[in-house]
Every structure is written in C-alpha cells, then in structure tokens.
Structure 1
Amino acid sequence: MYYYFPDNYRWSSAFNLALMSGGTLGELHRGLGHLDGSDPDNLDDVAWGQAWANMAREQEEQAAKDLEAGFPRSAGARYLRASVYHASGERMIPPGEEKTASYKEALDAFGKAVELSPLDIELVQVDSPDGVLPGYLIPARGTDGPAPVVIFYGGFDVTKELLYCFIEDTFRNRGISCLVMDSPGVGEPLRFRGVPSRPDYEVPTAAVVDYLETRTDVDSSRIGIMGISLGGYYAPRSATFEKRIKAVAAWGGIWDWGKTWEKRWGTRSKTVSVPWFQLPWVMGTETMEEGLERVKQWTLVDVLPKLTQPLLIVHGENDRQVVVADAHSAFEAAGSEDKTLRIFTVAEGGAEHCQTDEPDPARQLIADWFVSRLR
C-alpha cells in the first residue's frame, strides 16, 4: 500500500480509499500535504476533518464558477469529488453535530453531481423492519426486457455514495443493474436514525429483494449480492438464508469478525481503518466492552456450511485489517459446490484490504464473475 503518511496506516488507507473513489492525486496532495509528519500515535482527526472539508469546498467553489461559465458537466464532476472528500473527512469525526453536518455536506454535493453530470441513477427507498433503507439503482445498459441485478452492500464505514464511486458503470456496461444500499449500521440509517448493524442481515436483505420483485425492469430470478469489507459478512450471511439470491461475492473475506476485533483491541492494532469509536457506534452500544461482546455474533463459522449458491471471495495477500487466513477459512467452510477464492498477491498488486491499493482488476473480476452466474 502507498503510505502517503509514513507509518500511519489509518490515514494512508483513507487516502487510498479516496483515490479508489475518484479523488485525484494532485488535489489530495495540495489539501493534505501539510498533515504529512503527523504523529501516527497521536493523530489529530480534527485537523484531518478540516483538511478534507477545505478540499471539498474548494471543488464546490470551482464548480460554481463552471456553472457560471455554462459548463454543468464540469461542475457535476467537481461536485462528485467534493462528495468523496466530505465523506473521507467525515469517517474520522466522532458521532455528534460536526459529523452529521459533514455527512449532510457529502449528501448535498452528491445530489448536485447527480443533477448536473447527470448521473444515470435512481434514488430508491426500501421499506424494511429497520425503517426506510435508501439506495441508488444503477440501471443496466443494452438489455431487452428485465435485467439481472446485484445488490451491493458497504461495510463498516462506507456509504452508498462511496459505493457508487467504487462501482459506477462496471455492472451497467455488462447488462447488469446494481443497487448500492445504505443498510443497518451504515450511511443514513445509522447517521440520521441511529439504526445499528444487526447480525441477521437476511432480514433487511429480504426487504430489498421484496422491493426488487416489484420492479418491471428487474429480473427477480437473477438477483445477486455482494459486499465490500464487512460486507463480506453481510452478503454471504444474507444469501445463506435468503434463497432468492442466486449468487454471492465477498469483496474481502470475513470469517469470525468478533475474534478479529478481540485481537485488534487486545493489541491496540495500528492497522484499523477508523478510530475506535466506530465499533460501539455501529454495534449500537454505549461502551467498547459492550461492543466487543455484541460483535461476537458477527461470525460465519456456523453459517457458511449452509450456503448453497455460487460464491466468490476476493482477498488481498497482504490484507492487514482481516488476515488472509480468514478468507481461506471461509472458502473451505462454504457449502457451495460452485465456489472460487481469488487472492491478489503483492507481486501483481491489489494485495491490500479490498484491493484499495489497486482496485480495478478486482472490480472487473467480480463483475465478470456475476455475468457468468446470472445468465
């Protein structure tokens, strides 16, 4: 992984994630260069959030000038990057008014990008036991009649706007629609309504599938599901108990996330992508200790042997957040007859967590795999 901030995994991984989402190296360097040399053992996340907010607002100011000049698409592209920069800063801000304000700015900028670019996506609202779950449907191109669709879940700290930036037209250009979702413990449900994650993710997934079955442009007999990072738990868990799902991909293999967190906290790991507040916040607990107890339910040990649908697990050889051995354990336990494990190596690139160091080969591989399973 490229360490823009030497010996600082958390900030450097966020830097790479922003590049993966469409940020540009020049803008990031101009906006973050003054933070280089920060003490990795005493990170100033206030300065971090302010730097990203300044970068976002610079893009918004330039977008306004583009609009004055009559260039709405140029403005839309800038607003899309502004949304990424707001979201990147927001990830390190603890829950509270400042975090909520930063998140709203990310949503506003994304909305302007949708309007001005214009992005060919549809905002959807899915009724579920956890309340309304929002998402964006990216419709397939070049299909006659209803198209297959892949539900795309985020993980521990990735919102639907970033998911869109990760995937954009990758599925659309293959004749597959993609539904990127904010789900329990993620995005709007967590930030605006305090909805924590839940171990039985088949419950919200059933609601999403129910919704997809109402759409005439979706072939409900060809629904796939994928998840990135912690989504590597959400998607396989969902498919195991929701048999209307026909194929599942884990962009990052998860095995026993409770044990992963036990090790992280016990060693005070320096290779965690977000501050420690994230676990109790997502788990819906008051304390870290309560969060560590609750997260023990996030395990696939007894789940994956029951999985029957085709399964793809994509992992990095040098993943320092979730060890590669977990991907092997998940693969070996899976009951699917059709199962594939793809480990990206250091030599070829894409060896870091969810291939944030070199994401496109994994992104293309996953989409091609779904094409072959959702025919």
Structure 2
Amino acid sequence: MFTYFPKNYMWSSAVLLSLTAGGQLGQIDRQLAPLRETKADPEAWTKAWDQAGALQAEFAERDLSRGCRRSASERYLRAVNYYLTGERQTAPGPAKANSYRLALETFGKAVETMPRPLERVEIDSPDGMLPGYLIPALARDSAAPAPVVIFYNGFDVTKELLYCIIREEFADRGIACLVVDAPGTGEPLRLRGVASRPDYEVPTKAVVDYLVTRPDIDPARIGLLGISLGGYYAPRGAAFEHRIKACAAWGAVWDYGALWQHRWETRSKTTPVPFWQLPWVMGTETMKQALEKVKAFALAEALPHLTQPFLIVHGADDSMIPLPHAERAIKAAGSRDKQLVVFDGVDGGAEHCSMDDPDPARQLIADWFAQRL
C-alpha cells in the first residue's frame, strides 16, 4: 500500500480514496506535506483539505471567467473531492458541517458546468427522501430505455464522491448509473440524522420502486453495485429484492460486526476511520451500543437468497477487510453465475477496494455489468 503518511494508516487510506476519486497527488501534497512528519492533528487535517478544496474552487472561478467551462467543472469536482476527504474524518461539529456545506455547494457548480447532464433525484423511502444523481446512459438507441446500475456508498461516504469515482464508466457503455445517499451515508446522515440499518433491502426496494417509474430506464435491467461497506449493502439488498438482475461488491464484507469487534478490542492500526465514526453511523450514543447494533451486519443468512449473477472484486492484501471475507461470501451466495476476482498488486490494486491501483477494478466491474444487463 502507498502510505503517504508513513506512520498513519488512517490518513494514508484517505489519500488513496481521494486519488481513486480523481484527486491529484501534487495538489494534495501541496497542502498535506507539512503534516507528514508531525503528530496527527485533526484540526490541521481538516484545514489542509479545506485549503486544497478552496484553491481548486478559486481556479475553477478563474477558468469560468475565461470561458473555459469544462476545465472549471473538473476543478470544481476536485474541490469537492478534497472537501469531502477532509470532512469524512472530521468529528461532528461546526468544522465538519462547514466542509460538507462547501462540498455540496461546489458540486452544484460542477453540475452546472459539466459537458454532460447530471440529474438530481429525490427518492421516497421509509427513511425519508434519499437524494441521488442519475448519470444518463449515452444513447445508442434513443427510443429504447437504458439499463441502470444503482451505486451504493461505503462506510460514511457520499454520492458526490461516488460520482467522482465512477464518472461516465457506465454511461459510456450505454448504462445509466444512480449514485445515491442511502441510510447511514451522505445527506440522510449529515442533515437528518438517519442512521444505517442492516436490512438494506428496505432502501433498495424504495430505489427500485422509483426507477421502474422512469420511462428512460428498463425495469428488467437494473443492477446494484456497492463499494467497501457497500459490499454488504448491495448483496443484502439484492438477496431480498429480485428486481435487481445483477449485483457486484467492490470489496467484500462477510461479518461487519465481527470486524468492528476485532478493531475495537485490538485498537487496530488499520482502521480507516476514527472510532467515533461507528456510533455516529449506527445512530447510537456509545461504542458499546454501536458494537451491539453492527452485529446484525452479517451476510451468512442473506447470501443463500442471492441468486442473481454476482461479482466480488477484492484486493489480495486488503488490510481493512481481509480476503477470507470475500472467499466466504462468494461460497455462500446462491448464484449460479458467481465470480470472485482478486487483484494481486500487479494486475490491479491489492489493497482495500484496489485503491492503490483502482482503474482495473473499475473497468472490470463496468464491463461485467455491460455483459449482464
């Protein structure tokens, strides 16, 4: 794994996430280099990423003044990336709220200047409205409705980062993509306090109910993809919502509760987020309560019900969620068409979600859905 911070796995993993979402190492280094050899300071972390975002937003405004809308959009997206990378590891409070506000405002500016349309949607669900962005398929036959892939967040990620990660990979293959903030992520968590839930078939049903009403979407060709903890959310959703026709996990999960129990008991140094984050995402007051709630986030009982085509993409050296999680998950799945692809660090990234070399995984996943939808 590329460790930008030699003595801080958590911060290094955040840098990899930013790079996966299109961050530029030179831009990141310009702000974060002073933090590399100092004691970890959360306030300095937030400030550095906010400064990185603000600088890119400033350059975007300069590009706009010159009439360069496309380059401005790219600058805005990198600003969003940097605001959200810092925000994710900033504890709830004014600084976190400010970074998130800046990210949402800047993403809106990016959408306004994009060369391709991006549609914001609001999906009614038992947890309230779930906001998302629909990336339309490039029209191969303008009269025909398109297949679609729903893309779920990982642990405390956001739809804006998901967009930066996937961009037009599905669209260029004639597939629409819906990046969505579901319970325990993005806007529902940050703006309405909606915690995560183990029965992710509930929001999945709501999202599918919405998609089948759209004349531009083919209701018989709906796929579901999850990244990181989305490797629990997506298979769980597909196992009990069979209008999903294909499912992929970009990083597998088998038993998230056992994983967090181990992290907590050992005070693991390869935990990608601060420990306060689990109670926040689970909606509990204490770590003890969070560890109890997260026990339900296991796939042993659900995966036999997953019969659709199923793909797991995992890194051989994943230090956050070890490879045996992926091996147990693929074995338990009820699908006849199921495949585990393990990247070894040479053919693609071997770390968590292949974030040390993500593009081979991204291309493989998009191609796999194109063959099955």
TM-score category, normalised to shorter length: over 0.9
> Per-residue deviation at 1:302?
1.1
CA contact (8 A) 1:183 1:189 kept: yes
Asked whether 1:36 is paired with 2:36, we answer yes
CA distance in 2, matches of 1:337, 1:96: 47
Q: Residue deviations 1:271-314, cap 9 Å, x none?
A: 11111111000000000110001000000011111211110001
Alignment match, 1:327:
326
CA distance in 2, matches of 1:258, 1:51: 33
Counterparts of 1:147-162 in structure 2, within 5 Å, are 147-162=146-161
Q: Which moved more, 1:163-172 or 1:346-355?
A: 346-355
Instruction: Please point out which of 91, 111, 116 is paired with 2:108.
Output: 111
CA distance in 2, matches of 1:65, 1:138: 27
Q: Residue deviations 1:247-282, cap 9 Å, x none?
A: 100001100100000111111011111111110000
Q: Residue deviations 1:93-145, cap 9 Å, x none?
A: 11122211210100111110111234421101000000000001001113321
Alignment match, 1:121:
118
> Per-residue deviation at 1:7?
2.4
Which letter maps to 1:363?
R
Instruction: Please point out which of 123, 136, 144 is paired with 2:133.
Output: 136
Alignment match, 1:10:
10
Instruction: Give the number of aligned pairs.
Output: 371
Q: Residue deviations 1:35-54, cap 9 Å, x none?
A: 11133xxx211100000001
Q: Secondary structure at the match of 2:85?
A: helix
Alignment match, 2:214:
215
Which letter maps to 1:140?
A
Q: Secondary structure at the match of 2:133?
A: strand
Q: Which moved more, 1:303-312 or 1:112-121?
A: 112-121
Alignment match, 1:75:
72
CA distance in 1, matches of 2:156, 2:115: 26
CA contact (8 A) 2:348 2:359 kept: no
Q: Residue deviations 1:3-51, cap 9 Å, x none?
A: 1111211111111111111111110111111111133xxx211100000
> Per-residue deviation at 1:66?
1.9
> Per-residue deviation at 1:359?
0.5
> Per-residue deviation at 1:170?
0.5
CA contact (8 A) 1:74 1:117 kept: no
Q: Which moved more, 1:300-309 or 1:117-126?
A: 117-126
Which letter maps to 2:217?
V
Alignment match, 2:180:
181
Q: Which moved more, 1:201-210 or 1:1-10?
A: 1-10
Counterparts of 1:1-375 in structure 2, within 5 Å, are 1-39=1-39, 43-144=40-141, 145-374=144-373
CA distance in 2, matches of 1:67, 1:38: 37
Q: Secondary structure at the match of 1:320?
A: coil
CA distance in 2, matches of 1:8, 1:93: 16
Provide the identity percentage.
Answer: 61
**RMSD, matched Cα:** 1.0
Q: Secondary structure at the match of 2:131?
A: strand
Q: Report the CA distance shift for 1:98/1:119 in structure 2 as closer, same or farther (over 3 A).
A: farther
Q: Where does structure 1 lack aligned partners over 5 or more consecutive residues?
A: none
Q: Which moved more, 1:194-203 or 1:341-350?
A: 341-350
CA contact (8 A) 2:149 2:175 kept: yes
> Per-residue deviation at 1:65?
1.9
CA distance in 2, matches of 1:334, 1:183: 24
Q: Which moved more, 1:98-107 or 1:180-189?
A: 98-107
